[in-house]
Amino acid sequence: IGEAAGGVAIAAADVSTGRFEIVEVSTDAVGAELARLGAAEVVAAETSAFTEAATTLRPRGDFDSNAGETRLKRIYGVATLDGFGQFGRAGLAAAGGLVAYLEHNAKGALPFLRPPRIARAAEAMAIDAATRESLEITCAAGGVRKGSLLDAVDRTVTGAGARLLAADLGAPLMARDRVEARLDLVRMFHDDQALRERLRGTLRAMPDIGRALGRLAAGRGGPRDLGQLRDGLDGAWHLGERLGEIADPPVLLADLAPRLRGHGSLIDLLKRALVPSPPIEASDGGYIAAGYDAALDDLRDAGAGGRRAIAALEAEFRTQTGIAALKIRHNGVLGYHVEVP
Residues 10 and 123 in one domain: yes
Query: Are 206 and 228 in the same domain?
Result: yes
The CATH number for 198's domain is 1.10.1420.10
Residue 187 lies in a domain: yes
92 found inside a domain = yes
Q: Does residue 121 sit in the same domain as residue 144?
A: no
Residues 183 and 168 in one domain: no
Task: Please report whether residue 289 resides in a domain.
Answer: no
pLDDT digits (tens, 9 = 90+) for 171-202: 899 899 999 999 999 999 999 999 999 999 99
Confidence of residue 45 (pLDDT cuts 50, 70, 90): very high
Specify if 169 maps to a domain: yes
Range of the domain at 332: 294-339
Counting residues of the chain whose pLDDT is more than 90, the rounded percentage is: 57
- Quick: pLDDT tens for 221-255: 899 999 999 999 999 998 988 888 888 899 888 88
Residues 303 and 315 in one domain: yes
Q: Is residue 222 part of a domain?
A: yes
Is there a domain that residue 300 lies in? Answer: yes
pLDDT of residue 148: 93
Q: Are 341 and 325 in contact (CB under 8 A)?
A: yes
Same structural domain, 159 and 47: no
Q: How far is CA 121 from CA 1, 126, 163, 196, in A?
A: 14, 8, 20, 32
Q: How many domains does the chain have?
A: 4
Within a domain: 190: yes
User: Taking residues 12-31, what's their average pLDDT?
Assistant: 91
Same domain as 120, residue 11: yes
Is there a single domain that holds both residue 268 and residue 188?
yes
Q: Are residues 314 and 213 in the same domain?
A: no
| Domain boundary pick from 260, 284, 308 | 284
Bridge-based pairing of strands 117-120 and 19-25 is: parallel
Give the DSSP H or E segment for 7: strand 7-14
Query: CA-CA distance, 18 to 114, in Å (whole number)?
Result: 5
3-state secondary structure of 219: coil
The CATH number that applies at residue 78 is: 3.30.420.110
Based on the fold, state whether residues 170 and 180 are members of the same structural domain.
no
Q: Do residues 13 and 105 touch, judged by C-beta distance below 8 A?
A: no
* 224 shares a domain with 180: yes
**β-pair partners for 173:** 124
Any domain includes 314: yes
Q: Tell me the Cα Rg of the chain.
A: 27
Over the stretch 303-336, which tens digit does the pLDDT of each residue have?
A: 777 888 889 899 999 999 999 999 999 888 888 8
Residues 261 and 245 in one domain: yes
pLDDT at 296 over 80: yes
Listed range (153-162, 261-270, 305-314) with the worst mean pLDDT: 305-314
pLDDT tens track for 130-148 = 888 899 999 888 788 899 9
CB-based contact 150:112 (threshold 8 Å)? no
pLDDT in tens, 48-76: 999 998 999 999 999 999 999 999 999 99
Q: What is the pLDDT of residue 214?
A: 84
